[in-house]
């Protein structure tokens, strides 16, 4: 029984299951967000799309986390030996199977979104149908592979890639949405918070002035393209702009908290970076819920809030279980035979 618990815990740690709720919330928020004057879709269609979109989001997020650990396994043997792969709790060959299974699951679920997508298309456009959910899921997976395999070692380019992944992924459930406000907030928030945490944690390669300029340029270009798209879709109306109030307040509150954290002298820079990054991930829920609430969609906002509570409960539950099992069974490492686990 204890061995099974360790296996399940290792799998949850490999996929960062608790944080996968952030990806689901982002996609649900775009899916539920309605432009001014647009009637809501039938409830069965909405619930079906939410369920399938949740599968896509979890699959893509867990795929990215698993692939990251798999590619960093050799490095983690030195710097993070308690991770599931270097500790031997999950063999590398099994991690490969997990990665492929998660990717296939996400792409199949994205393809299954097609029938729901057809239901909400007007009949004149049905003949011009393109499987946008599948294309966006595949594009997101491509950027995930790019980040894990290459761009995360390229400083500023890697941080921009992280933002692009969030911005693209949240559109998987509703890729034809004329509103990209949330995508812009997620893109900007992830890039800026990741850059600050990157500097505080003194990661390699170090960010240079050229990297900082590239980040600023990327933020400006990315947001400008999103605004241009919304202008072409005629969605920058006063009624739609009101939904910016919620995320703007959320961003201001986070900025004030981050400023306070950065001024706390008793915290080491690495601790500050870790806190900014962890709360920054959970703060994505507030962007999702606040934009829906500002758009007068309280029930949709409540759904995101409940998802936030699930994420917090899962995060602390996994941390508690991990510490409890660690007290029961301590990993030991032998350079001649590799990592093994022994009972106390």
Question: What's the pLDDT score for residue 338?
Answer: 44
Question: What's the pLDDT score for residue 170?
Answer: 97
Per-residue pLDDT of the chain (344 residues; tens, 9 = 90+): 667 777 888 899 999 999 999 999 999 999 999 987 787 878 888 899 999 999 999 999 999 999 999 999 998 898 888 889 998 889 999 999 999 999 999 999 999 887 665 555 544 444 456 789 999 999 999 999 999 999 999 999 999 999 999 999 999 999 989 999 999 999 999 999 999 999 999 998 999 999 999 999 999 999 999 999 999 999 999 999 999 999 999 999 999 999 999 999 999 999 999 999 999 999 999 999 999 999 999 999 999 999 999 999 999 998 888 887 666 654 444 444 444 443 33
Domain residue spans of the chain? 2-117+146-343
Question: What's the pLDDT score for residue 2?
Answer: 67
Contact present, 12 and 99 (Cβ < 8 Å): no
pTM: 0.90
Question: What's the pLDDT score for residue 41?
Answer: 78
Question: What's the pLDDT score for residue 45?
Answer: 83
Question: What's the pLDDT score for residue 130?
Answer: 78
């Amino acid at each position: 029984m204890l061995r099974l618990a360790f296996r399940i815990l290792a799998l949850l740690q490999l996929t960062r299951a608790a944080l996968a709720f952030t990806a689901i919330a982002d996609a649900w928020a775009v899916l539920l967000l309605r432009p001014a004057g647009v009637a809501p879709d039938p409830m069965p269609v909405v619930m079906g799309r939410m369920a399938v979109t949740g599968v896509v989001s979890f699959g893509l997020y867990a795929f990215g986390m698993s692939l990251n650990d798999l590619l960093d396994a050799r490095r983690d043997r030195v710097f993070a030996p308690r991770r599931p792969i270097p500790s031997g709790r999950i063999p590398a060959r099994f991690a490969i199977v997990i990665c492929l299974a998660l990717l296939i699951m996400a792409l199949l679920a994205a393809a299954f979104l097609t029938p729901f997508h057809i239901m909400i298309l007007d009949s004149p456009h049905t003949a011009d149908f393109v499987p946008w959910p599948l294309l966006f899921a595949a594009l997101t997976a491509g950027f995930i592979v790019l980040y894990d395999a290459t761009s995360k070692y390229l400083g500023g380019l890697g941080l921009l890639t992280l933002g692009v992944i969030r911005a693209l992924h949240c559109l998987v459930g509703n890729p034809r949405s004329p509103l990209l406000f949330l995508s812009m907030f997620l893109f900007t928030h992830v890039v800026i918070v990741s850059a600050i945490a990157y500097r505080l944690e003194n990661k390699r390669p170090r960010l240079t002035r050229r990297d900082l300029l590239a980040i600023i340029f990327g933020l400006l270009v990315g947001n400008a393209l999103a605004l241009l798209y919304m202008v072409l879709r005629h969605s920058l109306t006063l009624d739609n702009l009101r939904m910016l109030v919620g995320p703007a307040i959320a961003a201001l509150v986070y900025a004030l908290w981050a400023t306070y954290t950065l001024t706390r002298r008793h915290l080491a820079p690495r601790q500050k970076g870790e806190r900014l990054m962890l709360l920054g991930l959970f703060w994505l829920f507030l962007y999702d819920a606040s934009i829906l609430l500002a758009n007068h969609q309280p029930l949709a906002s409540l759904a995101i809030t409940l998802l936030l509570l699930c994420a917090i409960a899962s995060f602390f539950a996994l941390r508690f279980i991990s510490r409890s099992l660690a007290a029961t069974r301590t990993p030991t490492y032998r350079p001649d035979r590799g990592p093994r686990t022994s009972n106390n």
